[in-house]
Amino acid sequence: MTQEQYIETNKNRFLDELFTLLRIASVSADPKYSAEVFKTADAVADSLKKAGAENIEICPTPGYPIVYGEKIIDKNLPTVLVYGHYDVQPPDPIDLWKSPPFEPEIRDGRIYARGACDDKGQMYMHIKAFEVMMNTGTLPCNIKFMIEGEEEVGSSNLGPFLEKNRERLKADVVLVSDTGIIANDVPSITTGLRGLSYVEVEVTGPNRDLHSGIYGGAVANPINILCEMIAAMKDENNHITIPGFYSDVVEITTEERAEMAKAPFSLEEYKAHLDLSDIHGETGFSTNERVSIRPTLDVNGIWGGYTGEGAKTVIASKAFAKISMRLVPNQHPDKITELFKNYFEKAAPKSVKVEVRPHHGGFPVVTPTDSIEYKAAAKAMEHTFGKKPVPVRTGGSIPIIALFENILGLKTVLMGFGLDSDAIHSPNEHYGVFNYFKGIETIPFFYKFYAEMKK
Ligand code: BES
Ligand code: MN
Ligand code: MN
């Protein structure tokens, strides 16, 4: 049987199996889902085993386990390390889902479920592509799988795992599908990810909530102060005002910018898709540049005071915000967190107390386009899409990728198949049936061309 025939014959089962995985609510951020996250690790291990992997191990960590499996066919052949994650983002706000987040269903050729695209659907393509190669006798090199359960909460246990398992994880390249393409008829390969610094801030005013009439006007309102402090962190050009924030940013050349501008993009479609009458961002940069080569500062959540039904007249004792900063080469997440903390503490008026609590961080990544692995991925995509993929730097983060290079000395190929419109992290996340099978079809060609080019 050819690969194509094998995929065609097993099409429904490949969908059913993904659905089974999507039904398990592996939300890593919220401890109430803990049992389900562990259950998902078992399910991933089981599917690796059924696909033909060996030496499978569900490796415990202080958090959620890392699932390992491998197929070594010949020690002299190259080895590809596949990385993916089985954890998902919280489904909230649940009310906005048209179908329940953990009851996958197909509508208009799309699989709707939390994790359908990020990353269960994309990770599972690799297990199925492996099964295809195993059952058609076409596996041309060794494979190692490392699927983690804490990507959405910063992968803090994966770095130590890499340190301790250098020997077991020996490979020639890392292959990841956890990013996207420009459109189903415009294939692309991700060549850059932004880094991340994530902090939570707490502003305290009076020691208790106060009547906003009796005290209002005479004491600091921590919510007002927090809003002023946040507003002051950007100037009229949407430039971040934290001193030193841009000092390590690598400014790219005019030639590189001209190259980037060639990627197909329609501002009108972009706005229409998000129901926006205008875009917003740093002066002097295009939309694509703003989400790839420029750092950001965004409030991800803000709360305090009374938010229930009706009106309560109150000055809150405390206000909070969660703030993310996306980073670009050569910004260092710890240094940026430190700059933020110093700035925020100094900027606070004496009338309040502030506390900055750092969360996870991650380094930015840029991958080469002149490497064998990039060329193999590009050739595989060209083969199955009928078009050469465009290299694109994207705005999201996968903190572990930088550590593959720093700890294991490995380059990564980011060959994802999602779309920006798949609503990852949002209600109604979905993944195209087309994209799922395009991935399963393309991945074996990566192995084929990579093995050939490595000879
Ligand atoms: N798969 C995404 C990252 C991504 C998506 C990159 C689309 C490029 C295109 C990943 O699961 C993710 O969501 N990462 C987090 C970082 C993490 C530390 C929570 C992110 O980017 O917010
Ligand atoms: Mn992901
Ligand atoms: Mn994600």
Query: CATH number, domain at 269?
Result: 3.30.70.360
Determine contact, residues 426/89, Cβ cutoff 8 Å: no
Task: Tell whether 358 and 372 lie within a shared domain.
Answer: no
pLDDT tens-digit map of 332-341: 999 999 999 9
45 within a domain of the structure (yes/no): yes
Give the position, in ligand 1's atom list, of the atom nearest the Cα of 360: 18
> Per the structure block, which two tokens stand in for 38?
């562990």
CA of 196, closest atom in ligand 1: 18
The confidence score (pLDDT) of residue 433 equals: 98
Give the residues of the chain that fall short of pLDDT 70: none
- Cα(396) to ligand 1 centroid in Å equals 5
Q: Output the CA 152–ligand 2 centroid distance in Å.
A: 7
**Is 287 part of a structural domain of the chain?**
no
9 and 35 fall within a common domain: yes
At 360 the pLDDT is 85
In terms of domains, do 269 and 418 share one? no
Token pair for 197:
């610094």
Q: Ligand 1: residues within 6 Å at CB?
A: 118-119, 151-152, 154, 178-180, 193, 196, 360, 362, 394, 396-399
Residue 286 within any structural domain of the chain: no
- Same structural domain, 68 and 215: no
Q: Is the pTM of this model over 0.85?
A: yes
Predicted pLDDT at 263: 87
Look at strands 79-85 and 173-176 and give their pairing: parallel
* pLDDT the model gives residue 207: 98
Let me know if residue 414 belongs to a domain.
yes
Helix, strand, or coil (residue 17): helix
Which of 362, 381, 400 terminates a domain? The answer is 362
Specify the residue with its C-alpha closest to ligand 1, atom 19.
152
Domain, as residue range, for 326: 195-279+294-362
Are residue 219 and residue 351 in the same domain, yes or no?
yes
Burial group, residue 8, by CB count within 10 angstroms (0-12, 13-18, 19+)? exposed
Q: How many domains does the chain have?
A: 2
Distance of CA 425 to the CA centre of its chain: 9
188 with 215, same domain: the answer is no
255 and 334 assigned to the same domain: yes
Residue nearest to atom 4 of ligand 1 (CA): 396
Written as six digits, the tokens of 310 are 């009706």
| CATH number of the domain bearing residue 166 | 3.40.630.10
Q: Are residues 239 and 275 in the same domain?
A: yes
Which of 85, 123, 152, 392 has most ligand 1 atoms within 8 Å of CB, for mutation? 152
Residue 373 lies in a domain: yes
Is 285 a member of any domain? Answer: no
Last residue of a domain, one of 335, 362, 389: 362
pLDDT in tens, 322-334: 999 999 999 999 9
Distance, in Å, from the CA atom of 441 to the CA atom of 453, rounded to the nearest integer, reads 19
Rg (CA), the chain: 23
Whether residues 304 and 171 share a domain: the answer is no
pLDDT at 173: 98
The domain boundary, picked from 308, 338, 362, lies at: 362
The answer to the question of residue 227 being in a domain is yes
Using the atom order of ligand 1, give the atom closest to the CA of residue 85.
Answer: 11
